Amino acid sequence: MIGIGVLGYGYWGPNLARCFGECEQTRVVAIADFDRAARDRAARRHPGVTTVATMAELLDDPRVDAVAIATPVHAHFEPALAALRAGRHVLVEKPITTSSGEASRLVDEAARRGLTLMVDHTFTFTPAVQKIAELVGGGEIGTLHYYDSTRVNLGIVQSDVSVVWDLAVHDLAILDAITPERPVAIAAQAASHLAQRPETMAFVTLHFASGMVAHINVNWLAPVKVRRTLIGGSRQMIVWDDLEPSEKIKVYDKGVTLTGDRDAAHRLRVGYRSGDMWAPRLATTEALATEIDHFAGCIASGRTPLTDGLAGLRVVELLESAHWSMRQGGRPIDLSLERKAS
């Protein structure tokens, strides 16, 4: 049994504690939060588990083999580094850190010590994203042409991070998981419609060398909740509506081909294919439970997690570049130059 310490028992921490409690390979031994009321809540829900205030106290507990960090984004790096230095495996909430410099330091520290470092890119472990990755990886969709996501609602307006760091991070992590191709340019336009708050809406565009384009629309001030992504490929197209109770993914055998037909020269020489639509059956497993099983399995076997520290670093690099673009009114940032410089 892997002994787990959870740091941060606010909104998301209880989900981690519950899933670690239900996982057959792990046991929650301690929960830390510097807020007294949060500790009282944790003690009521997890009788027998020690509650403490700080990461230092978690690390003093020899039963803690691994820690899960669910504090606000600015409070990920210091506790994660302390845990790695104390020889503990680490699962950190998304985004892994507030800067790529910090993320690199965590990646190096974990590698040097042979410890598992994983970031909670929860969507990667949803049955929907796993199916999309399978369809894309298996070639059924063909060459990817576009990924077009709308992720809006009347959301929890964060005080320390913009909507890009809070919501677009999910799409950047999903793209990282479904295609090995990395973007060559990113541009982001954003606005804040609440005084003294970070940006509340943004449009992020990524360009890939293959010609693929990804567009991400995120907004905390939308009247309705929309979680809809269109993925277009040369062979098939996917509509993923995450709010659908069933049939979240629909695959359309639709497309357009240039015919080269001389007789059709007066028309547009475009052939339209409009075939069947099918909805693949998706597992009903909870993504976080799958992810925590995976984390425990990686610790036990020494395997590299699907969402390892490097995946966390790649996503933070994109978030930083999106931020620079936003500050310059949406100027595209050439990521190939950024990579050469680093």
Ligand X SMILES: NC(=O)c1ccc[n+]([C@@H]2O[C@H](COP(=O)([O-])OP(=O)(O)OC[C@H]3O[C@@H](n4cnc5c(N)ncnc54)[C@H](O)[C@@H]3O)[C@@H](O)[C@H]2O)c1
How many chain residues are in contact with ligand X, going by CB under 6 A? 22
Minimum distance from CB of 87 to ligand X (Å)? Answer: 20
Least separation in angstroms between CB 174 and ligand X: 12
Only segment of 9-17, 97-105, 222-230, 305-313 that touches ligand X (CB under 6 A): 9-17
Query: In the set 4, 5, 6, 13, which binds ligand X (CB under 6 A)?
Result: 13
Q: Which is nearer to ligand X, 13 or 233 (CB)?
A: 13
Q: Which is nearer to ligand X, 122 or 236 (CB)?
A: 122
Does the footprint of ligand X cover residue 168 (CB under 6 A)? no
- 55-114 residues in contact with ligand X (CB under 6 A) are 70-73, 75, 93-94
> Is the N-terminal amide bond of 47 cis, ω within 30° of 0?
no
Sole binder of ligand X in the list 9, 20, 220, 240 (CB under 6 A): 9
What would the 3-class secondary structure string for the chain be? CEEEEEECCCCCHHHHHHHHHHCCCEEEEEEECCCHHHHHHHHHHCCCCEEECCHHHHHHCCCCCEEEECCCHHHCHHHHHHHHHCCCEEEEECCCCCCHHHHHHHHHHHHHHCCCEEEECHHHHCHHHHHHHHHHHCCCCCCEEEEEEEEEEECCCCCCCCHHHHHHHHHHHHHHHHCCCCCCEEEEEEECCCCCCCCCEEEEEEECCCCCEEEEEEECEEEEEEEEEEEEECCCEEEEECCCCCCCEEEEEEEEEECCCHHHCCCCCEEEEEEEEECCCCCCCCHHHHHHHHHHHHHHHCCCCCCEHHHHHHHHHHHHHHHHHHHCCCCCEEHHHHHHHC
Distance CA 94, CA 104 (A): 15
Tokens representing residue 140 in the block: 């059924």
Query: Measured from the CB of residue 219, what is the shortest distance to ligand X in angstroms?
Result: 17
> Does position 35 bind ligand X by CB under 6 A?
yes
291 is a site residue for ligand X (CB under 6 A): no
Which residue number, 76 or 232, has a Cβ lying nearer to ligand X? 76
Residue nearer to ligand X on the CB measure, 132 or 237 = 132
Considering only residues 2, 22, 27, 54, which one is a binding residue for ligand X as defined by CB under 6 A?
A: 54
> Residue 120 interacts with ligand X (CB under 6 A)?
yes
Closest CB to ligand X among residues 9, 240: 9
To the nearest 10 degrees (0 to 180), the angle between helices 100-113 and 77-85 is 10
| Residue 146 touching ligand X (CB under 6 A) | no
Q: Is 174 in the site for ligand X (CB under 6 A)?
A: no
**What is the closest distance, in whole angstroms, from the C-beta atom of residue 342 to ligand X in the complex?**
24
Of the two residues 74 and 331, which places its CB atom closer to ligand X in the complex?
74
Identified binder of ligand X from the candidate list 122, 219, 290, 307, rule CB under 6 A: 122
Q: Tell the smallest beta-carbon distance from residue 98 to ligand X (Å).
A: 10
Binding interface with ligand X (CB under 6 A): 7-13, 32-35, 38, 54, 70-73, 75, 93-94, 120, 122
